[in-house]
Amino acid sequence: IGMKTATTGDTLCDPDKPVLLESISFAPPVVHVAIEPASRPDQEKLAVALAYLVREDPSLQMRTDEETGQTVLSGMGELHLEVTVERLKREYKVNANTGRPQVAYRETITSSAEKIEGKFVKQTGGSGQYGVVYINIEPNPGKGFEFESKVKGGNVPTEYIPAVGKGCELGMSAGVVAGYPMEDVKVTLTDGKSHDTDSSEIAFQMAGNIAFKEACRRAKPVILEPIMLVEVIVPEDGLGWVMGDIARRRGLVGERESRPGGIVSVESEVPLSEMFGYANDIRSATQGRGGYSMEFHSYRVLPAGLVEAMREGTGATA
């Protein structure tokens, strides 16, 4: 029963009067958990069920971790993922185990670095590998990753320039602070060196990757954490607790609004990492009379005091 090929965001209309409405824009997922079948019979059913759920809910994403082989489910919050796991059990009869929710941190750079060298030279008897590049790197707010070449004189053969860009783009997958994905970086290839017989695409790709990593270390890298726009609704006598609790969670209190029936609405911006378990906390503090909702707001720089603990937790080294 129902349509098998339509997805969220599609436009349904009369074939004789076609119309296409503007597609819906969804914020990126900010929480992820590892998910695995509770038993062997659930293994195949889990993959099929998750595929259906991801198709109908664009704010839900699924991927396979290349290092661990685990299936990772990403969504808009702790409750979002809890509901998804419950739907697996209720609608698809699939029992699944999940790990502890993890925040989707990002990394970026806050400064520029110029003339950074990346050298990949190997000689192993026969033909070797030779590639040398020089790059500039700079922040690229809101534009993702960009790569351009300003090489003159053929110091880097034209056919190898895309390989340099690919090497830099691969470096975006793991930052230099704590290994989180990077965003909003522009790379300019300015010069390089090649060898008539030993240069290759892989050599220049590796050289680009080496230069990119070194450039990021010099460009004042930072960790970005997702900030959520949180609306809390509580009785007036719970307002004091809400204000103090938001401050304790590193939140910024915004507008407050009084509503009929002695109810108060408080808007705030709170780091997602501080919101785990909030549903239980607010129920306990308000005897079940309070509630909240939240949505993704933006990414902001993680305070310096928390970065070292973050790096220790991931085992990263600069």
pLDDT tens per residue, range 120-155: 998 776 678 899 999 999 999 999 999 999 998 788
Mean pLDDT score, 246-257: 93
14 in a domain, yes or no?
A: no
Q: Which residue carries 């009369």 as its tokens? A: 14
Q: Got the DSSP string for 74-96? A: EESSHHHHHHHHHHHHHHH---E
The β-bridge relationship of strands 252-259 and 291-301 is: unpaired
Helix ranges (H only) for the chain are 40-56, 78-92, 161-171, 201-218, 239-248, 278-285, 304-314
Lowest mean pLDDT among 5-14, 240-249, 297-306: 5-14
Mean pLDDT score, 300-305: 90
Positive or negative torsion for Cα 83, 85, 86, 87: positive
| 302/238 same-domain check | yes
State percent of the chain over pLDDT 90. Answer: 52
CATH number for the domain including 251? 3.30.70.240
DSSP 38: S
Look up residue 203 and give its amino acid: A
Residue 199 pLDDT level (bands cut at 50, 70, 90)? confident
Q: What Å distances lie between residue 143 and 46, 72, 138, 139, 225, CA to CA?
A: 36, 26, 12, 9, 18
Which tokens sit at 141?
Answer: 């707010």
Residue 67 pLDDT level (bands cut at 50, 70, 90)? low
CATH number for the domain including 69? 3.30.70.870
Q: List, in sequence order, every residue forming a beta bridge with 42; answer none if it has no partner.
A: none
| 212/229 same-domain check | no
User: Distance (Å, rounded) from C-alpha 182 to C-alpha 31?
Assistant: 16
Phi, psi of 114 (to 5 degrees): -125, 150
The half-sphere exposure of 2 on its side-chain side, counting CA atoms within 13 A, is 5
Look up residue 120 and give its amino acid: F
Asked whether the predicted pLDDT for residue 207 surpasses 80, the reply is: yes
| 37/93 same-domain check | yes
Positive or negative torsion for Cα 290, 295, 301, 305: positive
pLDDT for 126: 66
pLDDT for 245: 93
| 92/132 same-domain check | no
User: Distance (Å, rounded) from C-alpha 19 to C-alpha 108?
Assistant: 40
pLDDT for 314: 54
| 230/213 same-domain check | no
Contacts made by residues 236-239, CB under 8 angstroms, sequence distance 24+: 236/262, 236/263, 236/264, 238/264, 238/285, 238/286, 238/289, 238/290, 239/264, 239/266
Q: Which residue carries 């993922």 as its tokens? A: 81
3 state SS of 27: coil
CATH number for the domain including 128? 3.30.230.10
Given 103, 135, 150, the domain boundary residue is 103
| 202/245 same-domain check | no
pLDDT for 148: 95
The half-sphere exposure of 69 on its side-chain side, counting CA atoms within 13 A, is 0
pLDDT for 316: 53
**Helices (H) then strands (E): counts for the chain:** 7, 14
Show the domain range for 93: 31-103
Query: Averaging pLDDT over each range in 36-45, 60-69, 167-176, which range is the top one?
Result: 167-176
Contact in structure between 4 and 52 (CB atoms under 8 Å): no
Mean pLDDT score, 111-116: 96
Domain total of the chain: 3
Asked whether the predicted pLDDT for residue 30 surpasses 60, the reply is: yes
234 in a domain, yes or no?
A: yes
| 94/49 same-domain check | yes
Q: What Å distances lie between residue 260 and 180, 233, 267, 294, 318, CA to CA?
A: 45, 12, 17, 22, 54
